[in-house]
Amino acid sequence: MIKNTLFLDALKGKHVERPPVWMMRQAGRFLPEFRALRDKYDFFTRCQNPELAAEITLMPVKRFPIDSAILFSDILVVPQAMGLNFEMKESIGPYLQNPITSQSDIDKLITPPIEESLGYVLEAITITKKSLNDEIPLIGFSGAPWTILCYAIEGKGSKTFDKAKSFCFKTPEKAHLLLQKITDYTIQYLLKKVEYGVDAIQIFDSWGGLLSPKDYEKFSWKYIDQIVESLAPKVPVIVFGKGCWYALQMMSRSKASAIGVDWTITPQQAREFTGDIITLQGNFDPAKLLSTPEIIYSEAQQMIRDFGVQRYIANLGHGILPNVPLQNAEAFIKAIVEFKE
Q: Residues 38, 63, 184, 215: which is the catalytic one?
A: 38
Is 63 considered catalytic here?
Answer: no
Does 26 carry a binding-site annotation?
Answer: yes
- How many whole angstroms from its chain centre is CA 111? 22
Q: Residues 46, 151, 189, 225: which is the catalytic one?
A: 151
Whether the bond between 283 and the residue before it is cis, its omega within 30 degrees of 0, is: yes
Does 205 carry a binding-site annotation?
Answer: no
Does 276 carry a binding-site annotation?
Answer: no
Does 318 carry a binding-site annotation?
Answer: yes
Tell me the pairing of strands 258-261 and 237-241: parallel
Residue at 316: amino acid letter:
L
Q: How far apart are CA 136 and CA 138, in angstroms?
A: 7
Q: Name the helix (H) or strand (E) containing 250.
A: helix 248-252
Is 199 considered catalytic here?
Answer: no
Whether residue 304 contacts residue 338, with contact meaning beta carbons closer than 8 Å, is answered with no
R_g of the chain, CA atoms, integer Å: 19
3-state SS, 77-117, equals HHHHHCCCCCEEECCCEEECCCCCCCHHHHHCCCCCCHHHH
Is 35 considered catalytic here?
Answer: no
Q: How far apart are CA 78 and CA 80, in angstroms?
A: 5
Does 74 carry a binding-site annotation?
Answer: yes
Q: Residues 18, 25, 46, 271: which is the catalytic one?
A: 25
Q: How far apart are CA 24 and CA 150, in angstroms?
A: 21
Q: How far apart are CA 268 and CA 260, in angstroms?
A: 14
Is 151 considered catalytic here?
Answer: yes
Q: How far apart are CA 73 and CA 70, in angstroms?
A: 9
Q: How far apart are CA 236 and CA 91, in angstroms?
A: 36
Whether residue 95 contacts residue 34, with contact meaning beta carbons closer than 8 Å, is answered with no
* Measured CA distances, 250 to 39, 213, 247 (Å): 43, 10, 5
Is 18 considered catalytic here?
Answer: no
Residue at 340: amino acid letter:
K
Q: Residues 29, 120, 215, 306: which is the catalytic one?
A: 29
Burial label, 157 (beta-carbon count in 10 A; 0-12, 13-18, 19+): middle
Q: How far apart are CA 168 and CA 149, in angstroms?
A: 10
Does 25 carry a binding-site annotation?
Answer: yes
Q: Residues 46, 67, 74, 205: which is the catalytic one?
A: 74
Does 44 carry a binding-site annotation?
Answer: yes
Catalytic residue positions?
25, 29, 38, 74, 151
Binding-site annotation, residues for substrate: 25-29, 44, 74, 151, 206, 318
Binding-site annotation, residues: 25-29, 44, 74, 151, 206, 318
